[in-house]
Amino acid sequence: MAYFGLPDSVIPESCKPRTKADFRVALVERENVLGGACINTGTLPSKTLRESSLFLSGARQRQLSGGLETSVRKNITLSDFMYRAHYVQERERERAARNVERHQIARLYGSASLTDAHTVLIRDKAGTEHSVTAEFVLLATGSSPARPKNIPFNNENIFDSDTVLQMQNLPRSMIVIGGGVIGCEYACLFQALGIMVTLVNRSGRVLEFLDHEISDALMGHCRNARMDVALNQDVDTVTLKDGEVHTKMKSGTEFITESMLYAAGRGGNTGGVGLERLGIKISKYGNLEEVNPITYQTSVPNIYAGGDLIGRPALASTGMEQGRLAMCHAFNIRYRGQELNPVLPAGIYTIPEISSVGESEQTLKKREPAVDYVVGRSRFGDHARGQIIGDTHGMIKLIFSAPEGRLLGAAVIGEISSELIHVPMACLQFGGGIDYFISSVFNYPTLSDAFKYAAYDALGKLNAYRAKGATG
């Protein structure tokens, strides 16, 4: 038997329960299916739709333009577009259900609220109520899209990032409000389908947490794909006229489109959970304000919380690990370091894909005292694999400390970036530096080989820095 997703082999004998009865777990879920936003409305659907858009539109085939004839599919229907997403969702829901059953976890359907620190009141859809008690409670209610009152959301053509998955037809044009991860991902996949997309962001840069060179490169790709990118624009009013969406900005600019996706912000699902009566503080965005960053305990020690509910980084991978750490603390299971690993990768499934880990140039420039560093770059087009797959604009960027040559951060834009980033992530994890990339032998032809040449690029700058220091 495994506990909290951990195999028996990693749990010391002294920490294992004597019998299965020692740990009894109940999972309360208000929906009829398992998986939350990860499986049903967020992570998996949007990533699957990205692949569908690349396949159905022929965008991926068009990369292979070096003498190859490719046909681009016309008249893509909504059922074509959604088929794969529905298939993947169903398989993952089944897998989640089997996992819960295998671990003998009781599934309780309904909306839950805490009546005290150990009692959970559950109301099912028929209105029937019953209570369960527990020594520990883990809150993992996730988040929901922001829905401002000035946006007339409907089921026809004005969507949030949840309801867009229920659209009835593919529009000819769409305005996407929000230049964060969700807005950029959907803007790119809809543009790939031939929908005329206008991406609007309140600030002057999308994906502001990224290395600016990488986010600028993404915007260059989007504009080359004829996406209209409107920065430093804030929504004033949204009205429906003759079935069209009229979006007026505070600057006076007006956009007229067939549809809208509002993807500017999310808030924690804390409504009706009863946290206020226990003294657990909630922010104006619905997230929990006081959660121990190591144990994930709230201000009520036996109540834990993790995932989107507690705010950034709000990644599926991070939320899973937070849940494991929380319950290992609760039940005194020690199988590894008891803190969340600080080396966390970010994967953004735009077109092109982006991933990063560690520091960016911007975060280093804000450091006090200042940090000296050098940057190495290598483009996919300078490697055989990039030419083979038709991704010649992708790039690997590595940042090393100067003069030591220790790896500080990495970013990748291009094909399979979210996979490639694990190479520098491992180097960061073990405190490695430029010698790791220089001495490593990568398969040829691969995109990973670009890491070696990005390191060579940085090595020249690092040697110049060292020489300058030696001569005073």
Give a yes or no: residue 340 inside a domain. Answer: no
- Of 212, 233, 264, the domain-final residue: 264
Does residue 135 share a domain with residue 175?
no
Does residue 271 share a domain with residue 238?
no
- Of 264, 288, 317, the domain-final residue: 264
Give a yes or no: residue 2 inside a domain. Answer: no
C-alpha to C-alpha distance for 101 and 83, rounded to whole angstroms: 27
Which CATH number does the domain housing residue 461 bear? 3.30.390.30
Which CATH number does the domain housing residue 87 bear? 3.50.50.60
Tell me how far CA of residue 340 lies from CA of 7, 136, 297, 309, 356, in angstroms: 19, 20, 14, 16, 18
Does residue 241 share a domain with residue 104?
no
The domain tally of the chain equals 3
Does residue 234 share a domain with residue 162?
yes
Does residue 272 share a domain with residue 258?
no
Torsion, Cα of 444, 450, 456, 459 (10° steps): -140
User: Which domain covers residue 412, as residue numbers?
Assistant: 352-470
pTM: 0.86
Tell me how far CA of residue 161 lies from CA of 11, 244, 285, in angstroms: 39, 19, 17
Give a yes or no: residue 3 inside a domain. Answer: no
DSSP assignments along 371-418, one per residue = --EEEEEEEGGGSHHHHHHT--S-EEEEEEETTT-BEEEEEEESTTHH
Give a yes or no: residue 346 inside a domain. Answer: no
- Of 219, 239, 264, the domain-final residue: 264
C-alpha to C-alpha distance for 264 and 160, rounded to whole angstroms: 9
Does residue 456 share a domain with residue 357?
yes
pLDDT in tens, the chain (472 residues): 233 444 455 444 544 444 444 678 999 988 888 777 777 776 777 787 788 777 776 665 555 555 444 444 556 666 777 777 777 888 888 888 888 888 888 888 899 999 999 999 999 888 899 999 999 999 999 999 999 999 999 999 999 999 998 888 889 999 999 999 999 999 999 998 889 999 999 999 999 999 999 999 999 999 999 999 999 999 999 999 999 999 999 999 999 999 999 999 899 999 889 999 999 999 988 899 899 999 999 999 999 999 999 988 888 889 999 999 999 999 888 766 678 888 999 999 999 999 999 999 999 999 999 899 999 999 999 999 999 988 999 999 999 999 999 999 999 999 999 999 999 999 999 999 999 999 999 999 999 999 999 999 999 999 999 998 766 5
Does residue 129 share a domain with residue 278?
yes
